[in-house]
């Protein structure tokens, strides 16, 4: 039902664009004549190519022309919300401070979890999923080093176009990969609790290995467009080179559909799967003959943190595209950037949540689905 609803929403949005593309005006630069089609923009702020000679400020305060061979392309016509975000304290202080805190806590914690899993493997199938999650979180946290450097320098990127593309692809690819891996862990727990006999006979090592490789492969391929696109641009209106935050209006139309699909399948779908699995697990455990109050409380805390971290980014990202479809406005991108910080915080919380679940459930779950029969299942 949930998947059908999401597909219906995507179909309605696509239909609305088709009906409205020659309708009302969509802001500056969207149409030059009545026959021009609507040009979609990606998940970022938007700008227009600057055809005027470009200058930068040198150390003595004078202006010097920018060489096209040594600097990124120039964009102009920034909105007030774009300028406010690029120059404001949210992006230059609050966001990078959160990134630094996440990196300081998350990298040692995830390395400790990897070492623990390597030396004390109880169940290979569970270890595969938790190792995949820890590695994905580590790559995400490593990309935050460069993003924090970028934000602390006033949203000015000085590391080159290649580094910008790599950091952008690593950040978003591992963000989606972490969310999907958490959904896979929820499915595994759901099968262990709700369908224990089927879970017992499944080739769990093979399935988890295949699923983990599939998740990495899918989202690795999904971020290829980020590696192929120009990501850094010179903005003369604010005197900065941005990385991914501002992209031109003449971007390819597939980017909007590409990012919309990534939002649905990389954030919203894992959220829906996790919600369903959590509800079914809690209902099943409450009907069990054993006392699972501690496990239920721990599981509820894990679920609440997952919901808090990923829901705002997923919903705001989706609504950002709805606004782009409707009237071309981009103001929600500011709130989406703030919400992404919560996703990054989850990368440093995952190791502690893993320890909490391990202590609350023990090494195995003794579940009695039928009278007189019991199973010992590791989750």
User: Of 359, 369, 353, 373, which is closest to residue 186 (Cα–Cα)?
Assistant: 353
Average pLDDT value over all residues in the chain: 75
User: What distance in Å separates the CA atoms of residue 77 and residue 351, rounded to the nearest whole number?
Assistant: 44
- Would you state the structure tokens that stand for residue 189, as one six-digit string? 């727990």
What sections of 25-123 are H helices per DSSP?
A: 80-87, 89, 95-119
Q: Is the CB of residue 196 less than 8 Å from the CB of residue 367?
A: yes
Judged against a pLDDT cut of 60, whether residue 378 lies above it is answered with no
Q: Is the CB of residue 298 less than 8 Å from the CB of residue 357?
A: yes
Give strand pairing partners of 41.
Answer: none
For 101, the 3-state DSSP assignment is helix
What do you get for the CA distance between the two ends of the chain, in Å?
27
User: Of 180, 197, 99, 101, which is closest to residue 136 (Cα–Cα)?
Assistant: 180
Least confident of 66-75, 133-142, 149-158, 219-228: 66-75
- Against a cut of 0.85, is the pTM above it? no
Q: Are strands 373-377 and 365-370 parallel, antiparallel or unpaired?
A: antiparallel
Domain 39-362: which CATH number of 1.20.1070.10, 1.10.10.60, 3.40.30.10, 3.90.420.10: 1.20.1070.10
Judged against a pLDDT cut of 60, whether residue 266 lies above it is answered with yes
List pLDDT tens digits, range 210-243: 999 999 998 888 888 888 888 888 888 888 899 9
Q: What is the pLDDT, as a whole number, of residue 199?
A: 85
Q: Is the CB of residue 278 less than 8 Å from the CB of residue 299?
A: yes
Q: What is the pLDDT, as a whole number, of residue 230?
A: 86
Calculated CA dihedral for residues 51, 52, 56, 60, nearest 10 degrees: 170
């Amino acid at each position: 039902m949930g998947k059908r609803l999401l597909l219906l929403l995507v179909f309605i949005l696509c239909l609305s664009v088709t009906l409205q593309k020659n309708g009302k005006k969509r802001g500056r630069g969207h149409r030059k004549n009545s026959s021009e089609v609507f040009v979609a923009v990606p998940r970022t702020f938007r700008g227009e190519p600057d055809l005027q000679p470009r200058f930068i400020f040198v150390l003595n305060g004078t202006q010097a022309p920018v060489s096209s061979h040594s600097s990124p392309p120039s964009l102009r016509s920034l909105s007030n919300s774009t300028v406010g975000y690029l120059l404001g304290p949210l992006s230059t202080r609050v966001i990078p401070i959160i990134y630094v805190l996440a990196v300081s806590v998350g990298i040692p914690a995830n390395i400790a979890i990897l070492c623990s899993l390597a030396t004390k493997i109880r169940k290979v199938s569970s270890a595969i999923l938790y190792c995949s999650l820890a590695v994905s979180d580590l790559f995400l946290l490593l990309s935050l080093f460069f993003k924090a450097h970028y934000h602390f320098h006033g949203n000015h990127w000085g590391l080159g176009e290649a580094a910008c593309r790599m950091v952008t692809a690593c950040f978003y690819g591992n963000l989606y990969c972490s969310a999907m891996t958490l959904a896979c862990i929820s499915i595994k727990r759901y099968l262990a609790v709700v369908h224990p006999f089927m879970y017992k006979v499944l080739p769990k090592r093979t399935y988890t290995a295949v699923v983990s490789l599939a998740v990495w492969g899918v989202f690795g391929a999904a971020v290829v467009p980020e590696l192929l696109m120009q990501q850094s641009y010179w903005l003369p209106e604010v005197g900065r080179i941005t990385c991914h935050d501002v992209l031109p209006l003449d971007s390819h139309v597939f980017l909007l559909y590409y990012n919309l699909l990534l939002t649905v399948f990389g954030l919203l779908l894992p959220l829906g799967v996790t919600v369903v699995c959590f509800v079914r697990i809690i209902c099943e455990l409450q009907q069990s003959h054993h006392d699972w109050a501690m496990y239920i409380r721990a599981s509820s805390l894990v679920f609440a943190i997952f919901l808090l971290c990923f829901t705002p980014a997923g919903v705001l990202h989706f609504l950002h595209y709805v606004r782009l479809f409707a009237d071309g406005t981009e103001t929600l991108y500011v709130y989406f950037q703030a919400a992404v910080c919560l996703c990054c915080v989850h990368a440093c919380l995952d190791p502690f949540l893993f320890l909490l679940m391990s202590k609350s459930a023990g090494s195995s779950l003794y579940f009695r689905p039928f009278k007189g029969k019991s199973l010992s299942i590791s989750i």
